[in-house]
Amino acid sequence: MYGRCGVLDEAEIVFYGMSKPDIVSWCSLLCAYVDNCKVEKALNLYRHAQMEGVYPDSRMYVFTLQACNLLADKEEAVVSEGQLLKSMSLEVGRSLHSDIRHNGFMSDMFVCTALVGMYGKCHAIAEAENVFSSMSEHRLVSWNAMLTAYVELGQGNKALQLYRQVLRGVETLDDVTLLCILQAASETGFVEICKHLHFEVVSAGLDHIRSVAATLIHAYGCSASIANGQVVFNELEEPHIAAWNASIAGHAGQGNPWESFQLFETMKSTATVEPDEVTFLLILSACSHNGLVLQALQYFSSMVGNYSLTPDLRHYGIMANLLGRAGNFRLIGGMLDMMPMPANLTIWLCLLGACRLHGNLAIAVQAFRHAVQLQPTHATAYILMSNIYGDAGLHKFADDVEQLRRERCGGEAYLDEDGQDVEFSV
């Protein structure tokens, strides 16, 4: 009871006051830790249970794997074993997998489903596939775990292939399944898939669920079928903010900024909801993609002044990119001074790119210093600064920066046509 109410101190007093807690008590406290996102306490409790000689059950493994998922949510993925992984969480998860195998729980469908979810969260998709394929029984919850792993790692085509198997093995789909497949459809951009999923959504009676409706609108937008997305939007009795945002994103994504702006104004005048941070992120992105500096400044000002919303680094990053491409370094400087948080690497790289575009060496030097201070081993800043020096005819300085990059980053590197750094080892 205490755990469910979030009163963990009381739950711990009750638990540690027991002379010999049974497995139900261990699992109850473990579940309370997971529900309240106390990752370290959950993992330590599992280790404590092992030291006490407690024989685990399937619930204990499921809860502990969920704690591992929470750990993965907090961890940045890094290159390891030749791929982008969440190494610390993966190490914990593999250890749990070993315990599960040793104690004979690999035949438990719910434990294996939790393993699939854990490996997906850690970006270890091959291991998720291995566990999934080894399962003797698949229920909708296990299909959903594998689908979610594919979608979260941007493997939409694999998700769609698996979805075809789901249709052969499951009679009724739920909102989790359809959300996953709609997100996968958004990646592929195939309108026929969206139409099929639209039919499935209506057939399952899930069109009233906000997240499903918004994702369906978004999928149609990504498939260049704004009209079909508008049909979904119009069928909503009272469109929620997620639906408005999905519609705005659809128009913006198809290069129709003015339609996005008009939809934004319609929302302000007719809707019972107000724009949120995501709304302004979409509107500012539409301005940035179309070089609309004045409109972006007006919307940014409105976000703070009219709606009391606090811009985050994403909003500032869009503004830095737009103002930089326009060569308005004075406004960028003012924005950097007023930011309530330090600029991140993305903003400094945007500024470096703008300096190269407009030949502003003085500001480039400052931006470069900030960038390498934040991430000394990130190659892009060195490449841009070396190119800026080279463009200015300062080839000795360009060579020095390139040498510094080799020492700190290693390998060879260059910028592709989109301005992204590409590296390979030598």
In whole angstroms, what is the distance from residue 166 CA to residue 173 CA?
9
Angstrom distances, CA of residue 63 to CA of 18, 111, 159: 21, 9, 26
Q: Say if CB 40 and CB 64 are below 8 A apart.
A: no
pLDDT over 70 (residue 80): no
Q: Say which CATH superfamily domain 315-426 falls into.
A: Tetratricopeptide repeat domain (1.25.40.10)
| pLDDT (tens digit per residue) in 158-179 | 998 998 888 887 777 888 988 8
| pLDDT (tens digit per residue) in 205-246 | 888 888 888 888 988 888 888 888 888 888 888 888 999 999
DSSP 78: E
Instruction: Give me the amino acid identity at 266.
Output: T
- Please report, in angstroms and rounded to a whole number, the separation of the first and last CA atoms in the chain: 59
Least confident of 80-89, 114-123, 150-159, 322-331: 80-89
DSSP per-residue letters across 266-292: HHHHH-SS---HHHHHHHHHHHHHTT-
Tokens for 99, please give them: 């315990």
Burial class from Cβ neighbours inside 10 Å (0-12, 13-18, 19+) for residue 360 reads buried
| pLDDT (tens digit per residue) in 331-383 | 999 999 999 999 999 999 999 999 999 999 999 999 999 999 999 988 999 99
Confidence of residue 79 (pLDDT cuts 50, 70, 90): low
Confidence of residue 301 (pLDDT cuts 50, 70, 90): very high
Confidence of residue 421 (pLDDT cuts 50, 70, 90): very low
In whole angstroms, what is the distance from residue 96 CA to residue 77 CA?
20
Tokens for 309, please give them: 């919303």
Average pLDDT over residues 73-77: 81
Average pLDDT over residues 99-103: 95
Mean pLDDT of all residues belonging to the chain: 88
Q: What is the pLDDT of residue 201?
A: 87
| pLDDT (tens digit per residue) in 371-401 | 999 999 889 999 999 999 999 999 999 999 9
Could you tell me which residue, 145 or 228, shows the higher pLDDT? 145
Give me the residue spans of the domains in the chain.
1-123, 315-426
